[in-house]
Amino acid sequence: MLPSGIRIWGLPKIPEIEPGMDLAETILAALAQSGISCTGSMIFVIAQKVVSKAEGCIVRLQDVVPSPQALAWAAKYRKDARMVETVLRQSRRIVRMDRGVIIAETHHGFVCANAGVDASNAPAGTVILLPPDPDRSAEQLRLRFERELRRNVAVILSDTFGRPWRTGLTNVALGIAGLSPFIDYRGQVDSFGRTLQSTVLAIADELAGAAELVMGKTGGVPAAIVEGFPFVAAAGSGKDLIRPAEDDLFR
Amino acid sequence: MLPSGIRIWGLPKIPEIEPGMDLAETILAALAQSGISCTGSMIFVIAQKVVSKAEGCIVRLQDVVPSPQALAWAAKYRKDARMVETVLRQSRRIVRMDRGVIIAETHHGFVCANAGVDASNAPAGTVILLPPDPDRSAEQLRLRFERELRRNVAVILSDTFGRPWRTGLTNVALGIAGLSPFIDYRGQVDSFGRTLQSTVLAIADELAGAAELVMGKTGGVPAAIVEGFPFVAAAGSGKDLIRPAEDDLFR
């Protein structure tokens, strides 16, 4: 059954997150104050950055000693060599390193700019790394939310990625807990009775992108809630959204 | 100002669209019957396929004479040579043609599987092409909707694309009328006063993906309505979402 309607709310008034803070409690407190009232299942979409901050995935650039490779590349493109070094350390494969842009595959397998290392919304002199295990982070939040809210809850950790061929960034799902990242239409029949062949929708990425519409980048809204999307509770993993190397024509 | 909440509805009971049908009137009739009540600005997200059908962008495979190239490739991968020929005719550049998959740049500039040629939800023996000018199609619908509904209306024509590196498909915007496809945060400051450098969000693609969550692929819901997203009326174009060749590291 398709839903007749979905609601998406941004969750305001979440304070600046610092290492060691209880993110689940902070988000639940913001929800309680928000006046948002959900009756059914809820999907929480949480910006990776606040999870990384809570988990202490922060690097002080003054502590980083750049390698010769990082120094050379940084000099060529007028970048901070300590930032470049941090990106290289977060990478297990460089996909492209050209025109001042580093597209890298992270140790998790995500392909993105700067291996997910980002200075925006980071304290001065620091950069933020991706969480080491986004699925685990999502599941820890999900368990807390579900216990407190006593309903079916899913959690998506989102980040903002570029993509080849298309301009601009969109939010995608890095970590998932409590729902499948896909709706698989293969084997179902269309309105003419034809069996669909290759239609697997990455709904976790679409949910992450939808949530971005209410989160923005500068308004201090690092979390959103989706209500009314009839997901089936399932284990799910953000890793399932990483295309296996053997299927990828664009390595 | 960020929205406090967005609502997304699928629009059911749209009949099978045939060439020459008045799509705007059909959608408005379905809206009137749906019980959906919007008070403010509305974004209509319409599946490309019904627009293509209304505009007659349909090829009967029995009318297609495959070229030697199409015959050879089809034989190698056990494909329908007439389908392959149709894909080649819709392409201005083949990006990859490997392992039974054709990734092509369409004459519009979109990079996607099979140059957007698709057999799903098409009458037997036919395939559907992308509309020749998705922005114009969107603008024609927008003018009709705005006149009838007497409010600020934007229209996005969406299609379902794959992407490198990530598994599964998501909906993206092919044609746009009435809103900018982007929110550009460059020059704005984050919560630490740092100026954001490269953050341009492709909100039209995020809106298309969000709408897919209520549209699905087999339920006969080819249109959705988004309410509560505070867009600024602007010309906008789906072409702006195509990354210029000189910026693309993955040609």
Residue (of A75, A11, A12) closest to A43 by Cα position: A11
| A3, pLDDT greater than 80 | no
Q: What per-residue confidence (pLDDT) applies to A37? A: 86
3-class DSSP state of A213: helix
| A91, pLDDT greater than 70 | yes
Average pLDDT score over residue span B160-184 = 96
Its pTM stands at 0.96
Residue A155: in which H helix or E strand, if any? strand A153-163
A 10 A CB-CB count for A187 gives 9
Average pLDDT score over residue span A235-243 = 95
3-class DSSP state of A138: helix
- B69-98 pLDDT, tens digit per residue, is 999 999 999 999 999 999 999 999 999 998
Nearest residue on chain A to B189, alpha-carbon basis: A218
What is the distance between the alpha carbons of residues B41 and B63, in angstroms, rounded to a whole number?
44
A18 Cβ under 8 Å from any chain B Cβ: no
Average pLDDT score over residue span A91-112 = 94
Compute the count of residue pairs across chains A and B with CB atoms less than 8 Å apart: 251
Considering only the beta carbons, identify the residue of A4, A6, A164 that sits closest to B250. A164
Considering only the beta carbons, identify the residue of A98, A123, A206 that sits closest to B209. A206
Lowest mean pLDDT among A32-36, A46-50, B51-55: A32-36
Interface subset of B 124-143, CB within 8 angstroms of A: 124
Q: What per-residue confidence (pLDDT) applies to A100? A: 87
- A177-233 pLDDT, tens digit per residue, is 999 999 988 888 888 888 887 789 999 999 999 999 999 877 789 999 999 999 988
Q: What per-residue confidence (pLDDT) applies to B1? A: 37
Residue from B36, B99, B159, B165 to probe the interface with A (highest A Cβ count within 10 Å): B165
Question: What is the least distance, in Å, from the CA of B181 to any CA of chain A?
Answer: 9
Give the residue with greater pLDDT, A59 vs A219.
A59
Q: What per-residue confidence (pLDDT) applies to A187? A: 83
Residues of B in contact with A219 (CB under 8 A): 2
| A2, pLDDT greater than 60 | no
Residue from A34, A105, A167 to probe the interface with B (highest B Cβ count within 10 Å): A167
Task: Provide the pLDDT confidence category of residue A249 given band limits of 50, 70 and 90.
Answer: confident
Do the beta carbons of residue A160 and residue A212 sit within 8 Å? yes
Do the beta carbons of residue B223 and residue B49 sit within 8 Å? no
DSSP letters, A1-61, are: ---S-EEEEE---PPPP-TT--HHHHHHHHHHHHT----S-EEEEEEHHHHHHHTT-EEEG
| B3, pLDDT greater than 80 | no
Q: What per-residue confidence (pLDDT) applies to A216? A: 81
What amino acid occupies position A218?
A: T
Interface subset of B 86-115, CB within 8 angstroms of A: 96, 98-99, 101, 103, 111
- B179-194 pLDDT, tens digit per residue, is 999 998 888 888 888 8
| B2, pLDDT greater than 50 | no
> Residues of chain A with pLDDT > 70: what percent?
98
Residue from B33, B156, B167 to probe the interface with A (highest A Cβ count within 10 Å): B167
For chain A, list the domains and their CATH numbers.
7-56+132-243 (3.30.1330.100), 58-128 (3.90.1660.10)
Do the beta carbons of residue A109 and residue A117 sit within 8 Å? no
Question: What is the least distance, in Å, from the CA of B144 to any CA of chain A?
Answer: 24
- The two structure tokens encoding residue A76: 């060529």
Task: Report the mean per-residue pLDDT for chain A.
Answer: 93
DSSP letters, A229-250, are: --PPB----GGGGBPPGGG-TT
Give the residue with greater pLDDT, B219 vs B143.
B143
Q: What per-residue confidence (pLDDT) applies to B140? A: 98
- A116-156 pLDDT, tens digit per residue, is 999 988 999 999 999 999 999 999 999 999 999 999 999 99
B61 Cβ under 8 Å from any chain A Cβ: no
What is the distance between the alpha carbons of residues B57 and B129, in angstroms, rounded to a whole number?
5
